[in-house]
Amino acid sequence: MKQSMTLIPTLREVPADAEIKSHQLLLRAGFIRQNASGIYSFMPLGRKVLQKIEGIIREEMINAGAVELLMPALQQAELWQESGRWYTYGPELMRLKDRNEREFALGATHEEVITSLVRDEVKSYKRLPLTLYQIQTKFRDEKRPRFGLLRGREFIMKDAYSFHSSKETLDEVYEKIFQAYSNIFRRCGLNFRAVIADSGAMGGKDTHEFMVLSDVGEDTIAYSDTSDYAANIEMAPVVVKYEKDNEPEKELEKVKTENQKTIEEVSAYLNIDEKKCIKSLLFKVDETYVLVLVRGDHEVNDIKLKNLFEASTVELADAEETKKILGVSVGSIGPIHVNNVEIVADFAVEAITNGVCGANEEHFHYINVNPVRDFKVSRYADLRFIQEGDPSPDGKGKILFAKGIEVGHVFKLGTRYSETMNAMFLDENGKSQPMIMGCYGIGVSRTLAAVAEQFNDENGLVWPVNIAPFQVHVIAVNMKDEAQASLAEEIYTELQKNRFEVLLDDRQERPGVKFADSDLIGIPVRVTVGKKAADGIVEVKVRKTGEMQEIHKDELLPALTGILKNL
Amino acid sequence: MKQSMTLIPTLREVPADAEIKSHQLLLRAGFIRQNASGIYSFMPLGRKVLQKIEGIIREEMINAGAVELLMPALQQAELWQESGRWYTYGPELMRLKDRNEREFALGATHEEVITSLVRDEVKSYKRLPLTLYQIQTKFRDEKRPRFGLLRGREFIMKDAYSFHSSKETLDEVYEKIFQAYSNIFRRCGLNFRAVIADSGAMGGKDTHEFMVLSDVGEDTIAYSDTSDYAANIEMAPVVVKYEKDNEPEKELEKVKTENQKTIEEVSAYLNIDEKKCIKSLLFKVDETYVLVLVRGDHEVNDIKLKNLFEASTVELADAEETKKILGVSVGSIGPIHVNNVEIVADFAVEAITNGVCGANEEHFHYINVNPVRDFKVSRYADLRFIQEGDPSPDGKGKILFAKGIEVGHVFKLGTRYSETMNAMFLDENGKSQPMIMGCYGIGVSRTLAAVAEQFNDENGLVWPVNIAPFQVHVIAVNMKDEAQASLAEEIYTELQKNRFEVLLDDRQERPGVKFADSDLIGIPVRVTVGKKAADGIVEVKVRKTGEMQEIHKDELLPALTGILKNL
């Protein structure tokens, strides 16, 4: 493509409202433009990258046995009412009425539409399993659209749905799509992890998020420094075997503390290691109060607590509740002499000898506290958040933390939708059963932004070859120089003939502008046609490494093939 | 693709609410499903055909120098208010509010968005011309969605917009895109015409519609039986040279008629040819009344009348107005003795000798009427609709009529949007000028339906090779027969390896079901693996001609290549 014929509106300044690198650079390099808050146009270069990503997704989805279809954005309210989500989805679901006052939702996701389609067409186990996907525009009215394409209100998603007559085939398809997603993100060049995630309100069992590692990510991932293990920090079990030290138990003693409330303050004041302190927190688990103990340097993981009690809600008791139940303020709680609520503790607490805890009395703590002897715990369990340095739950290596951008999600839905929407099939015995479902999403436009976030330097974007808008950027330094203009044109034509994807900068611009734009855009290889054009010599520069070499036009083709192969 | 893994929900019955062939067959063959009135899902086979059409469009648009981008469906109301269309578009434009009560339109078309994008990024004639296109979902809340994909409320469009600093480059780009559109529809196999169209309220000058000839079309096309000439009937000029006969003028005579009002009745009653009758109609042209005369066998063409007077509106006067201005009822009007309104007439009236007209008196007509002698016409002009048999306006052949489905539209917009939305550029002299624009649309999903409408027979769809969902349909007659199942699988694999697009019917269904489904789906070539499978012999059938031959598997590849090439 010739730059004179396309629209690549580069900017020298960093746009004021773009906080993160990918947003800044995609705007500055002319890949996107904002139309409204959270709503963007993909300019020609952005559209190209999208198409590349879509192409990779299609290949891998087909390989995984999925079949493409296309569902509408306008979805009848009735379908969302059937599933119940019309009432629970909230203002993120954009709604409108047609000319006959019928209500519609703008598709935020397509569980309802696909379930109704399949329910109407598939009646027998013989037609299952079935995996369908689409690449389509989604609408979610985010409260705080931000970070450019990372959290928009109109965006492109690949969403897939699978239907099954058995859990076994769901497992198989889940595994295949898991593999396809790994391939997709790897081919996009991303540094990512498949992360064990919380199935949350959806009620599914297995679920993984594909997280691109990035400081601007909104989720924290706990991953192994040695193996593939990765999980949302909420989801990672702690597998530490705590050992009691050999110290003999000393006599329990109540000591005066001034205004020390936090573990840090108490530990410092008493000059006792935080690891010897017992952090006591009063929780409201559904309708019951529970006293939860963790070690001073640990944090309670609500989800683990919730799972222990198989509860629906878990929240920290407030000051008033604490006063009412335990008779003291929040900073002075302890387990000793507490009889009116159940006490549960993290495994680490069990190993504490001669510890410290609140005395349920303002300005007093106990020292030389010993579990069993001094208080009674009903259950010990894994109740804390994993920490950096903890052993990886798979037994391989140590845990590190990273921030992640969620670009993909695979999820075993089970019968959540088939039951509410009556998507039934007849099994081998002629018995009617709800279909078992899986759903699988990729944020296509978000993936584009995640790549931009991972691949850039101080001069601009640095696209991985597989999804670069073009492979080669040919620049005629001076278009008024006949030799340069004609050699650039010749190379452009020759490369295209040999199936290279080429952008030709044929603009009447100063060389400085052309080079700066080229770096900003970030095409993997640049071919500069300059003063040695008359001798047939051009300069080839690799965007990523800055490596440069002069090459004669006759050797250009094999040279570029080699360079691109190695990138 | 294996049929066991995809979803092709064929139907034996004709769906009750599908009136036309394409709608019936696309439903029956499982290409589409309706989600709501005018809203459809493209099932796997439908999605495939869409992709094929999109691929052809992309190739031809790139060839024409257009560059792809992608604009959003959610469009800020402010943009539509700037262009004024927020107020004039009516209920077809779907509107909604976001969570902050800001108003949006769902893109029915993208003139506003593209104009605002280009206005913000392009400031100089040096960046023009520029042609941008997208393939994207559009929303129009049709009053009467019908005919399946032909008139839907959510549909896929390719829309392109060009921006220019001069009319000359607009002419050039218009011509290129005109050519691209011709290529696109030709490659889709369609029997179509590029038709001169009415520029209507848009105010543009040149405009063509690409019409697929079909009895279910809603527009009437006048086309030459010899040349490429075609126009919407409203737009076709009449180039007949009328000659006066040699009959001597007789004396004007008022005759009694009973209740004969229409030309047909008067002609029959008086036994005088309709061609001798003068049809007199009172029109309101803007705020003025005009008496319009055409020959009895002709019809007044409002658009020609409007153009003659350079008027904004033209409508037939009602009974009350007629009574007030001419003192009689509508069926008795004539030009004789009329002095209070201007009289204009079609050229054909000028040639009438001894004609008939109303007498402006109930139950009376004049006979032996002669223009000039008996009444005064201020202007003779081409004021009638063209008719079948008229000479083609380009001088080549005679006019025939056909119905057409509009699948494409090219249009010189001029400065309609750039002026209202202030899209200016600096010309060579540093002077600010509004950009000159063109717009160019293709109904992508409508094109799919138009092909289905043109290519079918009593057994189902008959896809042209270029846009067929698959090229070859391999059918294993009996999947329980080991020889058949394995040969079918072998052929499927081998053909795919050689880049054929193949659908394999590997279902456990009766042969009759498989054959009927295959005919319904309409893949160009069928390979049936049946009883002679053990001998390596299969049957190859061409869907279009029904031609059948037995071929040994070793000769299948070259045979299929040959057949597909000739289709």
In tens digits, what is the pLDDT along chain B, a chain of 567 residues? 999 999 999 999 999 889 999 999 999 999 999 999 999 999 999 999 999 999 999 999 999 999 999 999 999 999 999 999 999 999 999 999 999 999 999 999 999 999 999 999 999 999 999 999 999 999 999 999 999 999 999 999 999 999 999 999 999 999 999 999 999 999 999 999 999 987 654 444 589 999 999 999 988 999 999 999 999 998 899 999 999 888 899 999 999 988 888 888 888 888 899 999 999 999 999 999 999 999 999 999 999 999 999 998 999 999 999 999 998 888 889 999 999 999 999 999 999 999 999 999 988 999 999 999 999 999 999 999 999 999 999 999 999 999 999 999 999 999 999 999 999 999 999 999 999 999 999 999 999 999 999 999 999 999 999 999 999 999 999 999 999 999 999 999 999 999 999 999 999 999 999 999 999 999 999 999 999 999 999 999 999 999 999 999 999 999 999 999 998
**Length in residues, chain B:** 567
Rounded to an integer, what distance in angstroms lies between the CA atom of residue B137 and that of residue B147?
19
Q: Which residues contact A119 (CB under 8 A, 6 or more apart)?
A: A418, A421, A422, A423, A424, A435
Q: Which chain A residue has the Cα nearest residue B133? A: A44
Q: Do A44 and B130 touch (CB under 8 A)?
A: no
Rounded to an integer, what distance in angstroms lies between the CA atom of residue A325 and that of residue A293?
16
Smallest Cβ–Cβ distance between B99 and the set A65, A91, A117 belongs to A91
Rg over alpha carbons for chain A, rounded to the nearest Å, is 30
A538-555 pLDDT tens trace: 999 999 999 999 999 999
Name which of A3, A26, A34, A39 to mutate to probe chain B: the one with the most chain B Cβ atoms within 10 A of its Cβ: A39
Under 8 Å between Cβ of B137 and B156: yes
| β-pairing verdict for B230-232 and A32-36 | unpaired
Rounded to an integer, what distance in angstroms lies between the CA atom of residue B257 and that of residue B391?
36
Q: Give, in degrees to the nearest 5, the angle at Cα B452 between B450 and B454.
A: 70
3-state SS string over B320-337? HHHHHHHCCCHHHCCCCC
**What's the pLDDT score for residue B202?**
45
Question: What residues of B are in contact with residue A102 (Cβ under 8 Å)?
Answer: 36
A148-157, A226-235, B116-125, B542-551: which has the minimum mean pLDDT? A226-235
Under 8 Å between Cβ of B46 and B59: no
Under 8 Å between Cβ of B75 and A40: no
Closest CA–CA distance from residue A457 to any residue of chain B (Å): 25
**Residue A272 pLDDT > 80:** yes
Smallest Cβ–Cβ distance between B98 and the set A76, A117, A141 belongs to A141
Closest CA–CA distance from residue A553 to any residue of chain B (Å): 26
Q: Do B98 and A5 touch (CB under 8 A)?
A: no
Nearest to B551 by CA among B567, B530, B524, B565: B530
Question: What residues of B are in contact with residue A122 (Cβ under 8 Å)?
Answer: 7
What phi-psi label fits residue B40: left (phi over 0), alpha (psi between -120 and 50 degrees) or beta?
beta
- Counting Cα atoms < 13 Å in the Cβ hemisphere of A247 gives 15
Rounded to an integer, what distance in angstroms lies between the CA atom of residue A248 and that of residue A38?
62
Q: Give, in degrees to the nearest 5, the angle at Cα A460 between A457 and A465.
A: 85
B381-406 pLDDT tens trace: 999 999 999 999 999 999 999 999 99
Q: Give the torsion through C-alpha atoms of A308, A312, A318, A321, to 10 deg.
A: -90
Q: What is the DSSP letter of B205?
A: S
Rounded to an integer, what distance in angstroms lies between the CA atom of residue A118 and that of residue A111?
11
**Residue A345 pLDDT > 70:** yes
**What's the pLDDT score for residue B330?**
82
Q: Do A70 and B50 touch (CB under 8 A)?
A: yes
Under 8 Å between Cβ of A473 and A506: no
Helix (H, G, I), strand (E, B) or coil at A306: helix
Beta bridge mates, A391: A398
Closest CA–CA distance from residue A563 to any residue of chain B (Å): 28
Smallest Cβ–Cβ distance between A35 and the set B5, B46, B72 belongs to B72
**Residue A437 pLDDT > 50:** yes
Residue corresponding to tokens 């396309």? A6
Q: Do B44 and A69 touch (CB under 8 A)?
A: yes
Smallest Cβ–Cβ distance between B94 and the set A44, A98, A131 belongs to A98
Q: Do A40 and B72 touch (CB under 8 A)?
A: yes
**Residue A52 pLDDT > 90:** yes
Rounded to an integer, what distance in angstroms lies between the CA atom of residue B67 and that of residue B77?
26
- Counting Cα atoms < 13 Å in the Cβ hemisphere of B533 gives 23
Within a 10 A sphere around the Cβ of B346, how many other Cβ atoms?
A: 27
Name which of A33, A34, A39, A70 to mutate to probe chain B: the one with the most chain B Cβ atoms within 10 A of its Cβ: A70
Closest CA–CA distance from residue B203 to any residue of chain A (Å): 27
Closest CA–CA distance from residue B377 to any residue of chain A (Å): 48
Long-range CB pairs of B211-215, under 8 A, 24+ apart, other chains included: B211/B404, B211/B405, B211/B406, B211/B407, B212/B185, B212/B404, B212/B405, B212/B407, B212/B447, B212/B450, B212/B453, B212/B454, B213/B402, B213/B403, B213/B404, B213/B454, B214/B403, B214/B404, B214/B405, B214/B450, B214/B453, B214/B454, B215/B403
Smallest Cβ–Cβ distance between A72 and the set B35, B122, B130 belongs to B35
Q: Do B46 and A70 touch (CB under 8 A)?
A: yes
**What's the pLDDT score for residue A282?**
96
Rounded to an integer, what distance in angstroms lies between the CA atom of residue A265 and that of residue A258?
10
Instruction: State residue B274 phi and psi, 5-degree precision.
Output: -55, -30
**What's the pLDDT score for residue B204?**
47
Smallest Cβ–Cβ distance between A5 and the set B9, B65, B92 belongs to B65
Smallest Cβ–Cβ distance between A99 and the set B113, B130, B141 belongs to B141
Long-range CB pairs of B203-208, under 8 A, 24+ apart, other chains included: B203/B414, B203/B416, B204/B411, B204/B412, B204/B413, B204/B414, B204/B416, B205/B412, B205/B414, B206/B174, B206/B411, B206/B412, B207/B409, B207/B410, B207/B411, B207/B412, B208/B178, B208/B409, B208/B410
Cβ burial of B559 (10 Å; 0-12, 13-18, 19+) is middle
* Token pair belonging to A253: 């003693």
- Where residue A201 falls among pLDDT bands split at 50, 70, 90? very low
Omega of the bond leading into B129 within 30 degrees of 0 (cis): yes
Q: Give, in degrees to the nearest 5, the angle at Cα A266 between A260 and A272.
A: 160
Rounded to an integer, what distance in angstroms lies between the CA atom of residue A316 and that of residue B349?
94
Q: Which residues contact B439 (CB under 8 A, 6 or more apart)?
A: B111, B159, B160, B161, B162, B410, B411, B413
**What's the pLDDT score for residue B200?**
58
Q: Do B43 and A154 touch (CB under 8 A)?
A: no
**What's the pLDDT score for residue A89?**
93
Within a 10 A sphere around the Cβ of A135, how many other Cβ atoms?
A: 20
Closest CA–CA distance from residue B26 to any residue of chain A (Å): 14
Amino acid symbol at A88: T
Q: Which chain B residue has the Cα nearest residue A41? A: B71
Residue corresponding to tokens 């052809």? B56
pLDDT averaged over chain A? 95
| β-pairing verdict for A525-529 and A472-476 | parallel
Beta bridge mates, B346: B381
Q: What is the DSSP letter of B27?
A: H
Rounded to an integer, what distance in angstroms lies between the CA atom of residue A461 and that of residue A481?
29
Residues A59-70, mean pLDDT to the nearest whole number: 98
Q: Do A121 and B9 touch (CB under 8 A)?
A: yes
Q: What is the DSSP letter of A419?
A: H
Nearest to B408 by CA among B167, B164, B189, B184: B184
Q: Do A74 and B5 touch (CB under 8 A)?
A: no
Closest CA–CA distance from residue B92 to any residue of chain A (Å): 8
- Where residue A200 falls among pLDDT bands split at 50, 70, 90? low
**What's the pLDDT score for residue B205?**
58
**What's the pLDDT score for residue A16?**
87
Domains of chain A by start residue, with CATH: 16-207+405-452 (3.30.930.10), 253-381 (3.90.960.10), 470-566 (3.40.50.800)
Interface size, chain A vs chain B, as Cβ–Cβ contacts under 8 Å: 153
| β-pairing verdict for B219-224 and B207-213 | unpaired
Closest CA–CA distance from residue A505 to any residue of chain B (Å): 13
**Residue A202 pLDDT > 80:** no
Q: Which chain B residue has the Cα nearest residue A123? A: B9
pLDDT averaged over chain B? 95
Under 8 Å between Cβ of B220 and B213: no
Q: Which residues contact A147 (CB under 8 A, 6 or more apart)?
A: A19, A20, A22, A23, A216, A449
Question: What residues of A are in contact with residue B47 (Cβ under 8 Å)?
Answer: 68-70, 134
* Token pair belonging to A84: 């119940």
Q: Which residues contact A565 (CB under 8 A, 6 or more apart)?
A: none
Q: Give the torsion through C-alpha atoms of A61, A64, A67, A71, to 10 deg.
A: -50
Rg over alpha carbons for chain B, rounded to the nearest Å, is 30
